[in-house]
Amino acid sequence: MDVQEHFSKRKVPYETLRHGPVTSAADVAATIDAPLHAVAQTRLLKADGGYCYVVAVAPAEREIDFEKAGEALGGSRLEPASPEETAVQCPDTEGGIISPFGSQYHLKVLLDEELSREEYVHFPGATREETIRVKLGDYVQ
């Protein structure tokens, strides 16, 4: 299920921003003229050697702090999931685009506290040519 479908089913207001193909959250920010701190990067992480997986959502301007994220999970050792692991855990994604809704895949989500200061946040859409803009409170709900 993509982000638009997820929001539509729950009647959450959102805006789809269409643009040329992008490959990173930083490219999205430049393309849609949004500040880096309001554009979310989503990454699939594996915990404890692949014992479980989690979705990390953080501002594009920040690197994911694997140690701090691991502490939030009770001391897990985290590392990025491979493209092959992403394809298995999130089979309906296009080319590694990870939905900010880990619940779609029965995964926990770690939301960086820096994003919680934003009124609006921008997430990857279903393709590399669209970005979703939504109020942060609606995303969290």
Give the pLDDT score at 24: 85
The string of DSSP codes covering 12-28 is ---EEEE-S--SSHHHH
Q: Is 52 in a helix, a strand, or coil?
A: strand
Using one digit for the tens of pLDDT, what is the confidence trace for 34-75? 999 999 998 999 998 778 999 999 999 988 999 999 999 999
Q: CA 34 to CA 28: how far, in whole Å?
A: 8
Give the pLDDT score at 16: 92
Contact predicate 58/114, CB 8 Å: yes
Contact predicate 86/44, CB 8 Å: yes
22 has pLDDT over 60: yes
Start-to-end CA distance of the chain, whole Å, equals 18
Window from 29-38, 75-84, 85-94 with minimum mean pLDDT = 85-94
Give the pLDDT score at 1: 55
This prediction's pTM: 0.87
Other Cβ atoms closer than 10 A to 16: 13
Of residues 124 and 137, which shows the higher confidence score?
137
Name the band, by pLDDT with cuts 50, 70 and 90, for residue 81. Answer: very high
**What six digits make up the tokens of 118?**
């934003």
**What six digits make up the tokens of 16?**
């789809």
Of residues 64 and 116, which shows the higher confidence score?
64
Give the pLDDT score at 17: 94
Contact predicate 134/13, CB 8 Å: yes
Give the pLDDT score at 117: 85
Strand order in the sheet with 52-59: 78-80, 40-47, 52-59, 108-111
